[in-house]
Each structure stands twice: as structure tokens, then as C-alpha cells.
């Protein structure tokens, strides 16, 4: 449409049509609703809870591999790992409680909190059992290490005695090789032994054996001295105490039964509940005997 036609339309009271190719007028912008500080804090607490909870569980699972159920050292390491990563999960549970307090009307968040509270009840029982298991595993590990060291020392002492008897009882190199073959785990003789007289070779071998035996005796003193038992039990007591504190923390945040806020409140209620006394049975009335009557009263006679 030309500009003249637009002027005529305007003059007659009509509205001018926009020229083709002109941009359409933009509609009104919708107002943006900003998050309140409470919602922001709740969102941050929820995200942190997810990070700590999932991260703690992943660290516990990864520490199980490679699985060696019959190995006491593996068992002790698993218990230490559970205690070390339990604090991260407890922090996650606290953050999840905080997020639910900031947004009490969030149904999805409350349902998620209820799930983790039920799992926290199981965690509280598990950490309560870790304390005695830690002591038992440490005791078994120390005893097993001592027994293994004693077996290795006895075997090495027997081999040294057998080497010395072979060197002292052999008359020539062929006899020595035959006696060494009968000893399990015996070392092979060096090539230089066959290039020198046997008496000189035997003297050198005896000297090497004396040096090896001296080093072995020195190592036996260190092994039999063993690790610092005081430090081992101090670390065990620290781990057991941490496990009990984690059990207390998870029980505080776990779901309680019978309408209680937490599992700890439920246990307190049971512990402080007064014992109900059984009602006393009324005493049976005593029958009095009138004066002058001898013997028990008759069944149909009731005396006041």
C-alpha cells in the first residue's frame, strides 16, 4: 500500500495497515519470579546432601575391591574405610534435614528425606556393631601376624641348619650338589665354585653362610619385637569411639517408630519409661474361730 492511501485511510477514521516486511509489535514481557533466599539455601543444601551421600557410598563400595573375605587385613581395612567415610554420609543427612526444614511443603524433598532416614536407621545399627568387630579384627590380625612370623622364622632356621650340615658333611663338589638338591628351596651354587679347589670353595661358602645367618638373626630380633601394641590399641580405641559417635549421629537423624521424631528419641522413650507394677491381689479374708470352739470351722460357717 502506498503512503497516499495510508493518509486517506487515516483521514477517514480508519487505521493504517502496516507495510509488508515491517516487524510485528512485541507482546508484553512476563515478569520473572526471583527465588527467595530460603529457596536458594534449600536448593544448595539439597545439592550438597546428594554430593556427600552418593560420594560416601561410592567411596565405601570402591574400597571393597578386590574382595578377599578370608583375609583379616582386608576385613580390618573395610571396617576402617566404613568409619572414615561415615562422616561424609552423616554430613549429607544433616544437609538433607536442613533442606527439608527450609522447604517443608516440598513433597519430593520430604519423600527423599524419609527414604534416607530409613537407611540411616540401618546405618546406626551397623556402626554400633563395628566397634566390637574392630576390636576383634585387630586382635585376630595381630595374632595371625605373630603366628605367620613364627612359621617363617622356624622354616628359615631349619634351612640354615640344613645348608650348614651339607657344607660340613660333603667331601667334594658333586656330593655338595647332591645334598643341596635334597633341601627344599636351596640356592644354586655359583659357577666360580667349580673353577677353584673344593676346600677353598667350601670356606668361601661357609663365610657367606655366616654372614647370611648374622643378618637373619638381626632381622629376627626386629620381627619378634613386633609392632607397637600401645599404638595399635590406641588407634583401635579411636576407631571404635568414632564408630559409636557415628551410630549416635545416624540414630539422631533416623526415622523413629511409634510417632517419635527420631530413632534416638524412640530409644530414650523406652529407656525412661517407668516400669509398670503388677497390681496386688487382695488378701483372702481370714476366718476367726469363736471362743470355746476347737478345731477348724465348718465350711458353711463364716465368722467376722
| Structure confidence by residue, pLDDT tens digits, 164-191 | 899 888 888 888 888 888 888 787 888 8
Find the range with the poorest average confidence among 42-51, 54-63, 157-166, 217-226: 217-226
**Domains of the chain by residue range:** 39-256
Model pTM score: 0.62
Residue 53 in contact with residue 96, Cβ under 8 Å?
A: yes
Find the range with the poorest average confidence among 16-30, 68-82, 232-246, 289-303: 289-303
Cα 268 from chain centre: 26
Q: Would you call 55 exposed, middle or buried from its count of C-beta atoms within 10 A (0-12, 13-18, 19+)?
A: middle
pLDDT given for residue 233 in this prediction: 85
- Say how many CA atoms lie within 13 Å of 90 toward its Cβ: 20
Tell me the residue length of the chain: 304
Sequence-distant (≥ 6) Cβ neighbours of residue 74 within 8 angstroms: 67, 68
Amino acid at each position: 500500500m502506498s503512503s497516499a492511501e495510508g493518509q486517506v485511510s487515516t483521514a477517514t477514521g480508519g487505521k493504517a495497515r502496516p507495510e509488508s516486511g515491517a516487524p510485528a509489535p512485541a507482546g508484553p514481557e512476563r515478569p520473572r519470579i526471583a527465588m527467595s533466599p530460603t529457596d536458594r539455601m534449600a536448593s544448595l543444601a539439597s545439592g550438597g546432601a546428594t554430593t556427600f551421600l552418593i560420594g560416601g557410598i561410592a567411596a565405601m563400595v570402591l574400597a571393597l575391591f578386590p574382595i578377599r573375605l578370608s583375609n583379616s587385613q582386608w576385613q580390618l581395612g573395610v571396617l576402617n574405610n566404613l568409619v572414615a567415610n561415615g562422616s561424609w554420609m552423616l554430613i549429607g543427612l544433616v544437609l538433607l534435614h536442613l533442606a527439608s526444614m527450609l522447604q517443608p511443603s516440598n513433597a519430593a524433598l520430604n519423600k527423599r528425606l524419609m527414604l534416607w532416614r530409613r537407611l540411616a536407621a540401618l546405618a546406626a545399627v551397623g556402626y554400633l556393631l563395628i566397634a566390637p568387630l574392630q576390636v576383634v579384627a585387630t586382635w585376630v590380625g595381630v595374632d595371625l601376624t605373630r603366628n605367620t612370623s613364627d612359621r617363617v622364622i622356624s622354616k628359615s632356621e631349619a634351612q640354615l641348619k640344613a645348608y650348614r650340615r651339607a657344607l660340613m658333611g660333603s667331601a667334594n663338589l658333586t656330593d655338595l650338589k647332591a645334598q643341596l638338591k635334597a633341601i627344599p628351596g636351596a640356592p644354586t651354587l655359583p659357577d666360580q665354585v667349580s673353577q677353584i679347589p673344593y676346600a677353598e670353595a667350601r670356606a668361601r661358602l661357609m663365610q657367606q653362610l655366616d654372614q647370611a645367618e648374622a643378618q637373619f638373626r638381626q632381622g629376627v630380633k626386629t620381627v619378634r619385637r613386633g609392632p607397637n601394641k600401645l599404638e595399635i590399641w590406641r588407634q583401635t580405641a579411636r576407631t571404635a569411639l568414632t564408630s559409636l559417635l557415628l551410630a549416635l549421629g545416624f540414630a539422631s537423624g533416623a526415622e523413629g517408630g511409634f510417632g517419635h521424631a527420631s530413632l534416638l528419641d524412640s530409644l530414650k522413650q523406652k529407656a525412661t519409661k517407668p516400669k509398670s507394677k503388677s497390681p496386688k491381689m487382695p488378701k483372702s479374708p481370714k476366718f476367726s474361730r469363736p471362743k470355746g470352739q476347737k478345731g477348724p470351722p465348718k465350711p458353711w460357717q463364716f465368722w467376722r
